[in-house]
Every structure is written in C-alpha cells, then in structure tokens.
Amino acid sequence: MRNIFRSRAWSPFALALILAVLAYPRIASQLTGQAQSYEAMALVSLAVRHMGLAFAAIIPAALIGIGAATLITRPWGRELKPLADILVSAVQAVPPVVVVALAFPVVGFGALPTMIALVCYTIMPVLRGAVAGLTSLPGDVKESALAMGLNSREIFFQVEAPLAFPVVAEALRIAAILAVATAAIGAIAGAATLGTPIIIGLQNQNETYLLQGAASTGSLAFLVDALFLMIIGYLSRER
C-alpha cells in the first residue's frame, strides 16, 4: 500500500475508491432517494466481465498498433506511414457505438461487436505512442550500436525497444483506460458490462442504477490507471 502513495498512482487510486463508495447500494440509494438498487455482488460480477471484455480488446489492439508502428519505422516501411495514419484516423473517427451498431448484422449480439469497437477505438493511441517511442532514438546511439557490430534485429531488441518502452507503456495505459471507460456501451449489444445498470436505469427511470453504473465504470477506469502507473513505475525502477 505504501508503494501506491510513493507513485503517481495514489491520485487515480483515491478517485477509484471514492467512486466505488458512491456505487455502494446503500449510499447510492441515499444520494438518489430511490430505494431500489443494484446489489453489490452483482456489480462486482459485472465489473469482472467488464474488465475481461476491455482487456480482450486491448491485446489485439496492442499487437496491431505496435506491429504497425514497428513496420512503418523501418527504412523499408516508412512509405506506408501516411497510409497507416489515414487508416487509424478514419477508424477512430467512427464513434464506438456506431461500430457496435454496424457490427450487429455481421457478428450478432453479445461481447464480440463491443470488442470490435474497442479494438478500433484503441489502436490509434497505441500506434502513435509506439511510433513516437521508436523514432525518439538519437541517431548517434544507433550509429554506436552499428559500430559495435550489432545487426538491425539486435539493435531493435537490445537498443530501440528498451528505450521506447516508457513511451509505449504510457500509450498502452491510455488505451487501457479508454477501453475500460468505453466498454460500458457493450450493454446496448447485450454484453454484461457496467453499462447494464445504466441501460436498465434509463429504461425504468431508476436514478440509483444510473449512478451505480456510472460510478462503477469510472471507478474501474481509475483503478486500471492506478495499476498501470504502479506497474510502469516498478518496471522503470527495475530497468
């Protein structure tokens, strides 16, 4: 616990805790004045599924984003950079809820259309962060590595990738926060997420459900932010 307060993670962790308290059934009911509330264990179950859905989308987004960044930062792939920028910008420009709606006829209801939307929404920050990290290597460092007899593969894994790690890690943190915060839209596709209480609350005009769904989603996003900051801080100290 002390490590949390020695890092940048303490602020999002505190916000996550405050929002989690607001989502607690008794407190949420008192704030809204409506007795009917979502059970705490039901919210926890939805949070687990929500997190799983978000991170199931982050993995392919990270692989695509980092892979594309590696490709377009190589001498033989730099001509593809404008095309990659246009494609990811176009994908990100489409709101996730629209992607979910467009995916219905093809993949049906459930978690899959939400995953597709989240992958599309999070590729850009990963790609741009990875490009920034891989292109920030000073020219004299690469020249020194070549002078030491390292080939291009060794330079990438032993020099470029380690130096790019902090920037890429920050990009992955931002992408993870976006995925967790946006995964609530999965409820409109029938996926079990923290957006489920929000949809039910809107249908039944239940403000307690709305508060619990929104506060739980925010709490989970801030918690993911805190966890990433702790992990990045730990790995940076170990390097």
Q: List pLDDT tens digits, range 44-59.
A: 999 999 999 999 999 9
Q: Which of 178, 90, 93, 96 is nearest to 129 (CA)?
A: 178
Place of tokens 């494609």: 87
pLDDT over 60 at 6, yes or no: no
Q: Which pLDDT band holds residue 95 (cuts at 50, 70, 90)?
A: confident
Q: Give the Cβ contact number of residue 3 at 10 Å.
A: 11
The model's confidence at residue 211, banded by pLDDT at 50, 70 and 90, is very high
The predicted model scores a pTM of 0.87
Average pLDDT of the segment spanning 87-109 = 78
| Predicted pLDDT at 238 | 60
pLDDT tops 60 at residue 5: no
Distance (Å, rounded) from C-alpha 214 to C-alpha 23? 8
- Overall average pLDDT of the 131-148 stretch: 77
Query: In order of start, what are the domains of the chain with their CATH numbers?
Result: 2-238 (1.10.3720.10)
pLDDT band at 139 (very low <50, low <70, confident <90, very high): low
Q: Which residues of 113-122 are buried (b: 16+ CB within 10 A; e: fewer)?
A: bbbbbbbbbb
pLDDT, averaged across the chain: 86
Q: How many residues does the chain have?
A: 239
Burial track 43-65 (b if 16+ CB lie within 10 A, e otherwise): beebbebbbebbbbbbeebbebb
CA–CA gap between residue 144 and residue 148 (Å, rounded): 6
Residue 183 has a pLDDT of 92
Q: Decide: 201 and 209 in contact? Cβ < 8 Å.
A: yes
Residue 32 has pLDDT above 70, yes or no: yes
Is 70 exceeded by the pLDDT of residue 109?
yes
Quick one: average pLDDT of 103-107? 74
Contact yes or no for 10/184 (Cβ under 8 A): no
- What integer pLDDT is reported at residue 217 of this predicted model? 95
Statement: residue 115 has pLDDT above 50? yes
In the chain, % of residues over pLDDT 90: 43
